[in-house]
Each structure stands twice: as structure tokens, then as C-alpha cells.
Amino acid sequence: MTFATLGLIEPLLRALETLGYQTPTPVQAQAIPAVLAGRDLMAAAQTGTGKTAGFAVPLLQLLAMEGPKVTSNSVRALILVPTRELAEQVHESVRQYAEHLPLSTYAVYGGVSINPQMMKLRKGVDLLVATPGRLLDLFRQNALKFNQLQTLVLDEADRMLDLGFSEELSNIYRVLPKKRQTLLFSATFSDQIRLLAGQMLNDPLSIEVSPRNVAANTVKQWLYTVDKKRKPELFVHLLRKHKWKQVLVFAKTRNGVDALVDKLQGLGVNADGIHGDKPQATRQRALDRFKASEIQILVATDVAARGLDIEDLPLVVNFDLPIVAEDYIHRIGRTGRAGATGEAISLVCADEVNLLSAIEMLTRQGLTRHMEQDFEPEHRVPDTDASGLVIKKPKKPKKPKASGGGKRNLGKWVDSGETVADVPVKPVRKVPVFNTGPRKKK
């Protein structure tokens, strides 16, 4: 199968050829004809399998072939994404696909000035990539209208439909045309999210090109058990022992990112960090330097778990396990992309055993455990299995306390092989009863 057999027009075929796209991936082969046919779509595929081209390429063809010219402050197609980094990445892909088409594209997100974005939208944009918060800001300032909207795309739909985005999405849905094409793409879909998505779509076609919620088999995964306080020390030890060249590290909090970066820089390691408190320009500069191998270690919160595309990234380290199990799949999906191989290592302490259990249950596989010499944890990480159980060691039976020492004797214990009848029982001493009532007069 070729892209030409999917019915794509020559300008798109030329752009794909320039980008080195040889044959469609499974998700592209199924999604492109469905989008061209105008179907609503819910597609699940592992990260790194070409989902962006699966919706962006046919969407650009529809915009080029159908519909009126875009008017001032209007958009004809809208792609919603959860993070600024993903907005930049998706828009860059869209721009490359549309290289030979007479279409305008743009990306809007928070963390930067809104005024240049308002100026850009004055002429109208055929395809807009946006984060929900900034999109609503632009709409409320009358910089954006949806009367010409033909297609809505939710990229990373599981996160977009999560509770954290539900209010923004509800406000956006209220102002969008009822008659539209809706496409949902993601690597993971929970049953609850699938039910919610089903209520938004009109007779949707469902595509699953790989098992649900399973990490790519091109990524080798294992973990080290370690005490929480010794994680930074173990990470530095492994970094030096294995001579890691380029590592993307995920930490749970912004303070955790800064603390690890400070420690690494203090040891002379070329490291930087990105999280939500950093300005967008600073975050983008760190990403660009990491991609160019100018930075050896990039430490990030889950702001980089989705949408960060780094060619041939060899290693991802979970310094902390994610609170949401699905984010584990997206984190390790930054390596082993497009058929390449990669490694994903997690540093796990006893406090994270429930998070580990949730990940193993979601991915339906147990992670191989290792202990590094001199870093054996004092607080044992309980065993887990892929069924989601935390396997606790049985408690040792308590020994009976010896009598004496001024303590009251509670009786004789029945030893193994004895019965209660074998134990001699002392006769109960009768206690005289004294009459405490009023004395009778003689």
C-alpha cells in the first residue's frame, strides 16, 4: 500500500515524499480514508505510530478541496491539544504537510503574549492548533469566530477529556457548530472516556491498531528499587556507570525538577529542566538544545510526556512514577519511536508501590526488578503483579508473653499435641460470703 492508493492529492504526496514517508503506518492506512469520507472517528494507537499524519494529512486535503475561503477572525479546522509543546509539534508537522497547498495554519497557546496571536487571526486561519485555555481567551476577546468551522480534532483525547479539561471543553463545545466532523486520537482510552467520547460523536468509526493501553514492544522496560532519599544519588551513579549520553528524565513535581537539575549541574553534568512555571520561550529553548544534543540530561514534569518528538532518543528515566498510570505509557513513548528501539528505567521507592501496581495492571505486564549494589533499599518495595495486586509478606505470629515480672498469670498454654482435657485445672477456692445488709436488733 502507498499513500497514493489512499486517495491523496499530488501536493500532499510531494510533501510526504520530501519528509521521507514511504508507506502508511497502520493507523494512517485506516484513518486517512475515513477522514476523507467525512466520518467521525475515534482512533487508538501507540505513541510514535504516526497519528498526527493520520488526521492532519486528510484534513488538509478536505480544506484544500472543499468549502469557502476563510473569513476574518475565523477558522475552518481546529485541533485541540493539552500542552504548549504538543501545540508547537503538531503545528510544525501540519506546516510541513501543507507546504505545497494554499492554506494558512497557526498555533495558539498560553505562556506568551496574546496580542500577536490576535493580530494573526484577523485575516482568518484555515487550520488552527490550540490549547483550550488560550482558545477561550481569544474567543472571549472577539478575536476568534467558529461560524466556518468544519472539523474538530482532539489530539491526546484521553487527557483532553480528563476532568482537568472538562470545564474548558464544555465551554468550547457550546460555541462550536453542531454540524461538524469530530476526530479523537490518542494512545490510551479508558472505558469511562470512551463512553463520554461516544456521546460527542455522530456514528463514529472506531480504530484500534494495537492493544489498548500497551507500551510499544520496541521499548525495553525495567526498574530499580531504592529508598526515596537516595534516588538522586542512584541516578548519578547509573549515569556514570552506564555512560548515558542523552536522557529524558521525568519527575513528579516542579520542585523535584529544579532540585535534580541543580544537583546535576553542581556535579558538572550538562542538564536543564522544563515545567509549567518556566516561560514558554525558556522551555522551548531547553527542548531545542536537548534535541540538538547540546544538553545531556533534560528533566521534565509531565508537560513533556506528550508531544515531545526526539529522533532516536535512547533512554527515558522515571525518576518518580506518574500519578496517572496512562502517563507512564506516554512518558516511555518518547523513546522507541518509528520502529527504533529504546529503554525505559524507573526508580521506585516503597511509597510508590500502588502507582507501580496500577501501571503493571494497565500495561498487563510486570516490570523486571533490579537492585544496585550499595543502594539496596531499607524500606522494601512490596511485590506486585500484573493483576494489580500488591503482594504483602505474611506477618510472623506473635510469641506469647512470658509470665512473671509482677504481671498477672493468665493461665497455662496448651502445647502442640495436648488437648484442653490434658491440662490440669486447679479447683476453685470457695470464697466466704459476708452479709453486708443492716444488722437485726436482738
* Span 164-185, average pLDDT: 86
CB 356 within 8 A of CB 389: no
For 3-208, CATH gives 3.40.50.300
* Span 98-122, average pLDDT: 95
Residue 162: which of 200, 189, 187, 134 has the closest Cα? 189
d(CA 92, CA 122): 21
Q: Check residue 296 and give its pLDDT.
A: 94
Is the pLDDT confidence value at 420 over 70? no
For the chain, domain boundaries: 3-208, 214-370
Q: At what angle do helices 10-18 and 51-65 cross, to 10 degrees?
A: 150
Would 3-208 and 214-370 be classified into the same CATH topology? yes
Residues 6+ positions from 142 with CB-CB distance below 8 Å? 73
pLDDT in tens, 32-60: 999 999 999 988 876 667 889 999 999 99
State the pTM of this model.
0.64
User: For 280-422, where are the alpha helices, taking DSSP H only?
Assistant: 280-291, 325-332, 353-363
For 214-370, CATH gives 3.40.50.300
Q: Check residue 185 and give its pLDDT.
A: 83
At which residue does the C-alpha cell 518495595 appear?
Answer: 381
Question: In the sheet that 368-370 helps form, which strands lie side by side, from edge to edge?
Answer: 271-274, 297-300, 247-250, 315-318, 342-348, 219-225, 368-370
pLDDT mean across residues, the chain = 83
Is the pLDDT confidence value at 434 over 70? no
Q: Check residue 209 and give its pLDDT.
A: 74
The residue type found at 437 is G
95-107: b or e for each residue (b if 16 or more CB lie within 10 Å)?
bebbeebebbbbb
- Detail the DSSP E strand segments found in 89-169: 105-108, 125-130, 151-155
Is the pLDDT confidence value at 408 over 50? no
pLDDT in tens, 225-254: 999 999 999 999 999 999 999 999 999 999
- Which is it for strands 390-391 and 383-384: parallel, antiparallel or unpaired? antiparallel
- Low-confidence winner among 212-221, 270-279, 351-360, 372-381 (lowest mean pLDDT): 212-221
